[in-house]
């Protein structure tokens, strides 16, 4: 059975765009399908300061614009659509969308991860009314107001640094006794005069009528509870991998797709890159690297299918 495409990439973040660029440059017939807008998590980065080759900080959306432009220049076809299913028969995948199906020899999953929720009373009810998962998007609505940031990883620290430019009444609440974020970032947060950190503390409820008015906090050691007036709650407590399209590929205990160093999942011809993949370090530069490796190895895999193996 012949396929219409060599490579279909699902997801247009940094990993997917880089895979598309490398795939197109390897002369593969590449289709990238993205659900919303290309860019993924990078879109919401305020100042991107750790991508090699950019000595001055660059806005996330500007960085992504450049990436997309470069990818299109090499001949990738990009479609905005939702992939509803994947199947695989005789070495050919069928990728289903509401607009029609595409057949392809290889698929790269670059579907990323979604925000994890705290799953506490008031979170769902007050989402968009003071509860937010994006500081760049919603922070400016809470200039000079009382803001709480929940979490202690890189995302929470990054976003707290951004929000601390908008208010001096910022409280960070972390369930452990120290921040999980990279040392340099954690130290910057700890030195920031506008940020008060409450360690070993959980947010257990968000209260308000129509908007956030207060939060209930609980100390881990004593279970002592306090209600604190608050105008906004920004939640950054990790992410959930979007791996539903991965057929029966092996996942780790967190649901992330397990790959080898060629980005191959346990399903032949199916690759995983970026935040959906089990990796010790989720960074833009890592996502881009994953994408390049996957496209290169997908090209070699197609050569093998065609009987031109040279690995
Ligand atoms: P993360 O590193 O998994 O950290 C999640 C944080 O949320 C942890 O501090 C965790 O606490 C806390 N947490 C998880 N579930 C919780 C719950 N139910 N209640 C309260 N707290 C909870 O996630 P992330 O910060 O979103 O980062 C995701 C990945 O992206 C990481 O690999 C990170 O390095 C990367 N990233 C990098 C940058 C950067 O380099 N500037 C920026 C953003 C993200 P514990 O510490 O107690 O587990």
Domains of the chain (ranges plus CATH)?
5-114+239-305 (3.50.50.60), 117-235 (3.50.50.60)
Q: Atom 30, ligand 1: which residue's CA is nearest?
A: 282
d(CA 206, CA 241): 26
Query: Of 112, 97, 98, 94, which is closest to residue 269 (Cα–Cα)?
Result: 94
Task: Tell me the whole-structure pTM to 2 decimals.
Answer: 0.81
Q: Atom 2, ligand 1: which residue's CA is nearest?
A: 153
The reported pLDDT for the residue numbered 310 is 61
| Residue 233: strand pairing partners | 131, 148
d(CA 228, CA 54): 41
Sequence-ordered list of residues with C-beta below 8 angstroms from that of 193, at least 6 positions apart, any chain:
168
Query: Of 104, 110, 170, 184, which is closest to residue 135 (Cα–Cα)?
Result: 170
The reported pLDDT for the residue numbered 46 is 77
Determine the residue of 238, 240, 283 to mutate for testing ligand 1's pocket, defined as the one with the most ligand atoms within 8 A of the Cβ atom. Answer: 238
Pocket of ligand 1 (CB under 6 A): 50, 116, 118, 151-156, 158, 175-176, 180, 236-239, 281-283
d(CA 288, CA 70): 13
Sheet of 147-150: strands edge to edge? 131-132, 232-235, 147-150, 170-173, 195-198
Task: Give tens-digit pLDDT for 214-250.
Answer: 999 999 999 999 999 999 999 999 999 999 999 999 9
What is the 308 CA–ligand 1 centroid distance (Å)? 44
Confidence of residue 138 (pLDDT cuts 50, 70, 90): confident
pLDDT (mean) for 80-100: 97
Cβ-contact 13, 40 below 8 angstroms: yes
What is the 179 CA–ligand 1 centroid distance (Å)? 9
The reported pLDDT for the residue numbered 44 is 78
Determine the residue of 151, 160, 179, 281 to mutate for testing ligand 1's pocket, defined as the one with the most ligand atoms within 8 A of the Cβ atom. Answer: 151
Residue 308 has pLDDT above 80, yes or no: no
pLDDT (mean) for 278-306: 94
Residue 137 has pLDDT above 90, yes or no: no
Residues tagged active-site: 134, 137-138
Q: Atom 36, ligand 1: which residue's CA is nearest?
A: 154
For residues 283, 177, 149, 195, the Cα torsion angle rounded to the nearest 10 degrees is -100
Q: Which atom of ligand 1 is nearest to the CA of 239?
A: 26
Length of the chain: 311
Q: Helices 284-305 & 14-25, crossing angle to 10 degrees?
A: 40
């Amino acid at each position: 059975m012949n396929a219409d495409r060599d490579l279909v990439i699902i997801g247009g973040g940094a990993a997917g765009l880089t895979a598309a660029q490398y795939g197109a440059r390897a002369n593969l017939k590449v289709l990238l399908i993205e659900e919303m807008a290309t860019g993924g998590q990078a879109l919401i980065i305020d100042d991107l300061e750790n991508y090699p080759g950019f000595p001055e900080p660059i806005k996330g959306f500007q960085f992504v614009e450049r990436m997309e432009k470069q990818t299109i220049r090499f001949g990738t076809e990009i479609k905005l659509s939702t992939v509803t299913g994947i199947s695989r028969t005789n070495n050919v995948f069928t990728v289903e969308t509401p607009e029609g199906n595409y057949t392809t020899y290889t698929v790269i999953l670059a579907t990323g991860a979604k925000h994890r929720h705290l799953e506490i009373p008031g979170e769902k009810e007050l989402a968009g009314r003071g509860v937010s998962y994006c500081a760049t998007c919603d922070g400016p609505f809470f200039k000079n107001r009382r803001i709480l940031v929940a979490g202690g990883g890189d995302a929470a620290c990054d976003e707290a640094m951004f929000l601390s430019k908008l208010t001096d009444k910022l409280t960070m609440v972390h369930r452990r006794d120290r921040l999980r974020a990279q040392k340099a970032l954690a130290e910057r947060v700890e030195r920031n005069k506008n940020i008060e950190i409450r360690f070993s503390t959980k947010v257990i409820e968000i209260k308000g009528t129509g908007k956030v008015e207060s939060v209930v906090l609980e100390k881990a050691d004593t279970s002592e509870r306090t209600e604190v007036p608050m105008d906004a709650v920004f939640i950054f407590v990790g992410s959930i991998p979007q791996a539903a399209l991965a057929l029966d590929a092996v996942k780790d205990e967190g649901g992330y797709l397990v790959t080898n160093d060629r980005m191959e999942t346990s399903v032949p011809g199916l690759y995983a890159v970026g935040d959906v993949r089990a990796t010790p370090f989720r960074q833009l530069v890592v996502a881009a690297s994953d994408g390049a490796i996957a496209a290169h190895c997908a090209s070699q895999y197609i050569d093998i299918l065609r009987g031109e193996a040279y690995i």
